[in-house]
Structure 1
Amino acid sequence: MDFKTFVDILASLAAIVAIISVLVGWYRSTRKPLKIVRVVVHKASEDMTFILVTKNRQPYPVTTKRIDCYRRKIFEVQKKFGGEPEYSERLSSREALFMGKSEFEVPANANTDLRIKVTGTADIPNRLLFSMDTSHGYHELWCDEISVLEVGRTEVYSVDYKKEYKSKLAAKVMYRWRLVQELTRRCSRRLRRS
């Protein structure tokens, strides 16, 4: 291998590293600063407490000014007389679980529990949409991991399996493997039904 070939290989590798670093920087800057990792809902007889496990993915604190929670979005297609058809997405107060000013500060690169107490009770769907007005703009965040705990009610359940591991890596690998198995099992059941 001569010197020119070696220099060309190094220059190509440097160009690839530069392109990848620019793409990673672009991806990180386009992400929303906040992510709602999990929602735990404590239901009592007359009120509910929403605990939003919120992650700040940026190296600066983010302040929330308002947080609204919805079951879903409304999608509409309408045509005004003499006009053309129009498509719109909107958030309806009929689908809201709570709406209100909630000022919280989420520290830089940190996880924080945001607690919001709501009077009255409602059915909680498997997926929630949060509309957040923050110090860094307006964001719509979906959360799929919802846990509803009814305060004062005992829950009895059986465990299909439980295994302890000494290593975090082994536990995570087994957890992912069990998720894949469960997903495969569900898909095969759906295919059999149809």
Structure 2
Amino acid sequence: MTLSVRRSVAVLALGAALVTTGCGATSADRAATVDGTVISESELQTTMREVNAMEPALLQSSLSPSGTLTALVQAPVVLELLAGKGIAVSDSVARRTASERGLADPSEGALEIVRLATAIGTAQQGGQITEADAATLQERLGALDVTINPRYGRFDPQTASVQLTQPGWITSTDAPQ
């Protein structure tokens, strides 16, 4: 083998080792992947904890893991559609809103949900979401390539939400024994 061939083989082997090492480390902390973007379990848990701790509450009810994951999956698509209608929530407005609700240093996930809740509220108050917008949104959300960690359920493209699922090895207490 020539020196250049050996170097090429060594570089390819190193690259393969780095790629597989990176995959192994991130998959353990992966709640979902949306069009190639990873939502980590730690991001999911931090976001849920921060949003649920806001006082006064940002949302009508507390977020569950699947609800938080649904919001994080949907947020970029919804915010893009609303921005196209002139409804955008800046980072500074989201930070101020979080701060007013007792969250001085919000995570990116919490800020994303604040932006989402604020933009949707503004659009609803102004009557700016039409049936055509809802259909467009449903189409865009349904077209997402979403992989959910089975611990959180599965993504239903029809409802564009994370649906809880019951593992096959768990049986109902009503099941005959």
Which one has a larger percent strand, Structure 1 or Structure 2? Answer: 1
Which one has a larger percent helix, Structure 1 or Structure 2? Answer: 2
TM value normalised by structure 2: 0.29
Larger Rg: 1
